[in-house]
Structure 1
Amino acid sequence: MDVALLIGRVLFVLLFFGSGLAHLTKTADMAGYAEARGVPSARLATLASGVLIVVGALMVLLGVWGDLGSLLLVLFLVPTAFLMHGFWRETDPMAKQMEMIQFNKDIALAGAALAFFWAFAHDPGLTLTSSLF
């Protein structure tokens, strides 16, 4: 089971590495989008969330306080779902559907991160440190 958990962790964090690196390397573009969605201090929020995503993903991948890393990802995902993907604000049916898909994806990933939080607390399996919580 440890190997299955490790493979799941690798597959899970791949998404966050790509996204986090984009936040840090394509900051102007991503901050422009965040600003258009009403995020205050969009540039700072983009950079901070990029660091949060990368650090959280690394913690989960390496199993260095993976429980904390999981919570960092939840801390990114839930506000992002509501701030960036407010499908209820859309009037165009196609835009509404796309935002609903993105909202649901973020909430589902937050659920997966919470499942990893639980897994690290109960049976860390192939980790570098024990759980923090």
Structure 2
Amino acid sequence: MDVVVLIGRMMFVVLFLSSALGHFTQTKAMAGYAQAKGVPMPALAVQGSGLLMLLGSISILFGIWADLGALLLLIMLVPTMIMMHSFWKETAAEATQAETVQFNKDLALAGACVMLFAFFAHTDELGLTITGPLFSL
């Protein structure tokens, strides 16, 4: 079971690690897009969200307070979902559809983060982690 959970953790963080890399290597382009979406201090927001993704991913991947890592990803996902993928503001059908898909993806990932938080904060035998949970449920 420990190996299965580890494989799941590895699969889960790939998206966030690759996105964090993009946030740090393409900050200017991403900040321009964030600014167009009305995000305040877009360059800082891009770097901050990249940092949350990086720290949350490393935490979950290596099992270093993985419950906290899940919360860090959740903290990044909720504002991103609302500010960057506000499908209700779109007028063109294609844009509405694209933003709805991205909104729902972020919503599903946020739900997974909530479940991971609960799993890590509740389970006594996490196996294949460096530390135990920071929180206890």
TM range (shorter): over 0.9
Q: In 2, distance between residues paired with 1:50 and 1:121?
A: 24
Per the alignment, residue 79 of structure 2 pairs with 79
Structure 2 length normalisation: TM-score? 0.95
1:88 is paired with a residue of what secondary structure? Answer: helix
RMSD: 0.7
**Which residue, 125, 129, 132 being the options, matches 1:130?**
132
Shift of 1:125: 2.5
Post-superposition shift, 1:122?
Answer: 2.5
How far apart in 1 are the matches of 2:59 and 2:116? 11
CA-CA distance at 1:118 after TM superposition: 1.4
Shift of 1:126: 1.4
Distance 1:57 1:31 in 2: 22
Q: Equivalent pairs: percent with the same residue?
A: 55
Q: TM-score, normalised by structure 1?
A: 0.97
Question: How big is the shift at 1:114?
Answer: 1.2
CA-to-aligned-CA distance 1:10-51 (integer Å, 9 cap, x gap): 000000001011001100000000000000000011111111
> 5+ residue gaps in structure 1?
none
Q: After superposition, what is the alpha-carbon deviation per residue over 1:39-98, rounded to whole angstroms, capped at 9, x for unaligned?
A: 000001111111111011000000000000000000000110000000000010111000
Match of 2:41 in 1: 41
Aligned position for 1:105: 105
For 2:67 and 2:103, the matched residues in 1 are separated by 23
Structure 2, unaligned stretches of length 5 or more?
A: none
Could you tell me how far apart the structure 1 residues matched to 2:127 and 2:96 are?
Answer: 41
Matched, 1:50 2:47: no
